[in-house]
Amino acid sequence: MKVLVLFSFYLSLESFYGSVLTSSLHYESIFNFGDSLSDTGNFLLSGALAFPVIAKLPYGETFFRHATGRCSDGRLVVDFIAEAYGLPHLPPYLALTKGKNFQHGVNFAVAGATALDSEFFSQRHLGAILWTNNSLSVQLGWFKKLKSSLCTTKQECDNYFKKSLFIVGEIGGNDYNYPFFVGGSIKQLRNSVPLVVGAITKATSALIEEGAVELLVPGNLPIGCSSVYLTLFKSPNKSDYDQRNGCLKAHNAFSKYHNNQLKKGLQTLRQKYPHANIIYADYYHAAMPFFHSPKRYGFYSGTLRACCGGGGPYNFNNSARCGHIGSKACQNPSSYANWDGIHLTEAAYRVIAMGLVKGPYASPPLKSVPLSLV
Ligand SMILES: *[C@@H]1O[C@H](CO)[C@@H](O)[C@H](O)[C@H]1NC(C)=O
Ligand SMILES: *[C@@H]1O[C@H](CO)[C@@H](O)[C@H](O)[C@H]1NC(C)=O
Ligand SMILES: *[C@@H]1O[C@H](CO)[C@@H](O)[C@H](O)[C@H]1NC(C)=O
């Protein structure tokens, strides 16, 4: 009853203020770029792998009850953001067909994607380990190709994109994951941070040149708290771990280093494009509270062990990864923050998304969400 009253109050408020409210307070569409943290099906549709595990349960078991191509048990940050603004979940770009309505947005993210182009990795003899060549600039190319079916004149495009939220990331995590997973050191990888950040800010500028005004650019998660990093970089030296949460200190410092460089890059962009609203999404600090106090967020099974995996102290086993023979999923994914060793659970993504939508982890803040949907 209370909800109904609130809702009808909101409706009358909305008809009272008419279009002012809808045009200035809401996003009417979302365009998303990124990697497996936000891919809603492109990797699967790209057919890059013959029998990808994300094509079957337990992937998708919690919310969709079937596999969708999302690398989680359920919804991702981008799904929760769309829901918060009353928008549908974004269709993956590779699923678009003629006649389908995608006016509320499109998702260009691809699992495994990098911020830097694949040539960068092939030059360093890492080309063969990339899951996909659909880097950030390839995704940007897809957007440009699609643009003519979204709007035609510059005026029409400007009016449409003015009310759109462009999410650029998270992207860049894989630019470090690939080399880290084959033995790269933090010292070596620090050198690539300015290049990775440069690729992200370049794509952000390109979108602004295309008419984007509202942009959300996420930083990296605390990789030192990730089951795969904790397993690969296990250390006998206690002082390598943060005593408060059990995460790897040096790897978390690396994430912070990337994030600080990204924040600086965004500051430069704000000066160059004062008309644009460039928002930094602080994934690192949005996630940190649940690593510090798991139980407060319902993560009774802890935050460092993966729900789905094939054994080991963090339930991440490279020879039996989630979905492969020898692995199994936990009973209650919402009591875990880590889903498959690399990606987070729907429950963890929800905490991060709410920290962005309601604050304080988006700066400057995102538009406030409609009363009825909070
Ligand atoms: C990426 O491109 C290279 C060079 O064109 C190709 O050899 C490789 O198979 C591609 N990788 C994927 C995952 O598509
Ligand atoms: C343990 O790591 C700390 C820094 O993380 C270092 O100062 C110390 O020398 C290391 N101890 C051993 C026994 O390797
Ligand atoms: C990892 O998986 C392999 C293959 O299923 C298995 O033989 C091995 O015992 C597992 N390791 C751990 C630590 O559980």
Contact 330, 56 (CB under 8 A): no
Mutate to test the pocket of ligand 3, among 314, 317, 322, 325 (most ligand atoms within 8 A of CB): 317
Give the side-chain half-sphere CA count within 13 A for 10.
Answer: 13
Q: Quick one: which atom of ligand 2 is closest to the CA of 238? A: 1
Cβ of 118 below 6 Å from ligand 1: yes
For ligand 3, residues with CB inside 6 Å are 310-312, 317, 319-320, 326
b/e 324-342 (16+ beta carbons within 10 angstroms → b): eeebebbeebbbbbbbbbb
Q: Cα(284)–Cα(278) distance, rounded to whole angstroms?
A: 18
Write down the pLDDT at residue 6: 42
Q: Which ligand is nearest to the CA of 309?
A: 3
Ligand 1 within 6 A of CB of 96 = no
Ligand having the closest approach to the CA of 132: 1
Which bound ligand lies closest to the C-alpha atom of 231?
A: 3
Residues carrying an active site annotation: 36, 340, 343
Ligand 3 pocket: which of 228, 319, 321 to mutate (most atoms within 8 A of CB): 319
Which atom number of ligand 3 is nearest to the Cα of residue 319?
2
Q: What's the gap in Å between 282 CA and the centre of ligand 3?
A: 35
In the reported structure, the alpha carbon of residue 300 is separated from the centroid of ligand 3 by a whole-number distance in angstroms of: 25
Report DSSP letters for 20-48, one per residue.
HHHHHHS--EEEEE-STTT-SSHHHHHT-
Give the pLDDT confidence score for residue 371 in this predicted structure: 62
For residue 8, the model assigns a pLDDT of 42
Q: What share of the chain is helix, strand, coil (3-state, %, to 5)?
A: 45, 10, 45
Domains and CATH numbers, the chain: 27-373 (3.40.50.1110)
Protein residue closest via CA to atom 3 of ligand 3 = 319
DSSP state of 321: -
Pick the residue whose CA is nearest to atom 14 on ligand 3. Answer: 311
Which of 118, 120, 122, when mutated, tests ligand 1's pocket best, judged by the most ligand atoms within 8 Å of its CB?
Answer: 118
Ranges of residues in the chain with a pLDDT under 50 are 1-23
